[in-house]
């Protein structure tokens, strides 16, 4: 039996929500280990749609323990709102079903505001990153700068004012420099104390909870947010998120040792999309891109932003396989390609007249790479709703096999619609 880490192998939005939900039926514990409420997951369970941004996908299933790990940055007000939204849908998120790591850093109003101030200023200079303006980056900055307010601080009203003062010394200097009014100590204290009683019942020593569960032989599913190409170190920097999104972060972001991770499943869309700014070698700013976006309903779960669309980029996914140690992929949205006469796949890049098989780390080089395509015959039959290989058109199977060959990883699961049961299982990650 293997504990499983699920990561996006592209720029996020690969359909992790459905796959995590599908796997959670086999898991006992579901853990979020990085990111914040900037990452949306859509789950479709028995025809009912749940849109999550901060909560682990396991919360919609009875009998599962969900955990928000210390690698997450946590907006307490967004948490309360999401819990209330689920309650209205008939899902009760109680402290016996959800634990929040006591050492998780908080996102406050000053983080959200600073995020917006910077994006506005960058828009005028042409250097906008394209953040969700939800305070994720500034909160991680304060965490690394050792001035963050953490969940446990809500229970210590003696030292909390000192920590707020330290935080505001930094933020008010930034606000003055950007031409904005300072924030008062009392305003932040009110913000924190107003929500403390709603958060503290969920607080726990998550590292201990996970160690106990692991020793008891329970199955743990680690759920990543965003995608590998948005990793702060391994992504298309600086057009990235503010955390490590790769599989190795599952250990550090939850408090388990690396040996607790057995199988890494990379979620991979059958084409490529990205939200926000930054390089995108296979982007199609034409009728193909419009077709993929329309057929695939490519809009961000959290922001509603239209996603940029393009052909499958095997170079990027092959690199993600290596960086994450991916053992198998879950290929999603194959049905979006149904009916195309031909399908292109990027197999390499040209950079300054040379052929390369990797994405260079330099921002300038990333902007200059040109994709090298192979063209495959499309298929006229449908893959939507298929639940076995025999249900797939021959050319669709050929396309999947070609992708496996190019990226150096087998397909473990194949998703053929948003419905959880429309999944072809090749390898059960928990049984690896």
Tokens representing 39 are 């990452």
Q: And the tokens for 277?
A: 């700014």
Beta bridge partners of 299: 306
CA distance 380 to 393: 8
- Enter the tokens of residue 186: 């009392």
Q: Which residues pair with 343 in a beta bridge?
A: 376
Asked whether the beta carbons of 371 and 352 are under 8 A apart, the reply is no
Helix axes 185-199, 76-88, angle to 10 degrees: 40
Find residue 375's DSSP bridge partners: 344
Separation CA 334–CA 73 (nearest Å)? 33
Helix (H, G, I), strand (E, B) or coil at 149: coil
CB 280 within 8 A of CB 235: no
How far from each other are the two terminal CA atoms of the chain, in whole angstroms?
6
The DSSP bridge pattern shows strands 98-101 and 65-68 to be parallel
Q: Measuring CA to CA, how many Å separate 137 from each of 143, 152, 182, 184, 239?
A: 10, 21, 20, 22, 12
Is the distance from CB of 221 to CB of 27 less than 8 angstroms?
yes
| Other CB atoms within 10 Å distance of the CB of residue 355 | 10
Structure tokens at 127: 């250097």
Active site residues per annotation? 13, 41
| Three-state secondary-structure class, residue 299 | strand
Give the integer Cα–Cα distance in Å for 337 and 340.
Answer: 6
DSSP 182-202: ---HHHHHHHHHHHHHHHGGG
Selection from 117, 134, 258 nearest residue 176 by Cα: 117
Distances (CA, A) of 97 to 57, 59, 81, 221: 12, 7, 17, 15
Instruction: Tell me which residue has tokens 């479709």.
Output: 44
The half-sphere exposure of 170 on its side-chain side, counting CA atoms within 13 A, is: 17
392 Rama class: left (phi>0) / alpha (psi -120 to 50) / beta: beta
């Amino acid at each position: 039996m293997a504990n499983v880490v699920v990561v996006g192998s592209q720029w996020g939005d690969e359909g992790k929500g459905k796959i995590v939900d599908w796997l959670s039926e086999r898991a006992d514990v579901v853990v979020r280990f990085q990111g914040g409420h900037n990452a949306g997951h859509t789950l479709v369970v028995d025809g009912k749609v749940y849109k999550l941004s901060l909560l682990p996908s396991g919360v919609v299933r009875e009998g599962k323990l969900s955990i928000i790990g210390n690698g997450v940055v946590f907006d307490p007000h967004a948490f309360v709102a999401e819990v209330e939204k689920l309650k209205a849908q008939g899902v009760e998120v109680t402290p016996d079903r959800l634990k929040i790591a006591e050492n998780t850093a908080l996102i406050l109003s000053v983080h959200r505001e600073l995020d917006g101030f910077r994006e506005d200023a960058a828009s005028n200079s042409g250097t906008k990153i394209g953040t969700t303006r939800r305070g994720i980056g500034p909160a991680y900055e304060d965490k690394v700068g050792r001035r963050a307010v953490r969940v446990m601080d809500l229970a210590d009203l003696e030292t909390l004012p000192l920590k707020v003062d330290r935080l505001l010394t930094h933020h008010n200097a930034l606000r003055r420099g950007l031409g904005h009014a300072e924030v008062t100590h009392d305003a932040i204290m009110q913000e924190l104390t107003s929500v403390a009683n709603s958060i503290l019942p969920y607080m726990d020593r998550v590292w201990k909870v996970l160690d106990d569960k692991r020793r008891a032989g329970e199955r743990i599913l680690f759920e990543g947010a965003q995608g590998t190409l948005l990793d702060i170190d391994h992504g298309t920097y600086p057009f990235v998120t503010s955390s490590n999104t790769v599989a190795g972060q599952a250990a550090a972001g939850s408090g388990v040792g690396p040996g607790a991770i057995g199988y890494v499943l990379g979620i991979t869309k059958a084409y490529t999309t990205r939200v926000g700014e930054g390089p995108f070698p296979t982007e199609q700013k034409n009728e193909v891109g419009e077709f993929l976006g329309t057929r695939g309903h490519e809009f961000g779960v959290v922001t509603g932003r239209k996603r940029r669309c393009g052909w499958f980029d095997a170079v990027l996914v092959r690199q993600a396989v290596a960086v994450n140690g991916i053992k198998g992929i879950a290929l999603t949205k194959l049905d979006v390609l149904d009916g195309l006469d031909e399908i292109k796949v990027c197999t390499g890049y040209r950079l300054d007249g040379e052929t390369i098989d990797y994405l260079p780390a330099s921002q300038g080089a990333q902007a200059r790479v040109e994709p090298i395509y192979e063209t495959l015959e499309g298929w006229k039959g449908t893959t939507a709703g298929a639940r076995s290989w025999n249900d797939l058109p021959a050319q669709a199977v050929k396309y999947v096999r070609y992708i496996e060959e190019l990226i150096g990883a087998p397909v473990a699961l194949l998703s053929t619609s948003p419905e959880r049961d429309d999944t072809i299982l090749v390898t059960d990650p928990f049984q690896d």
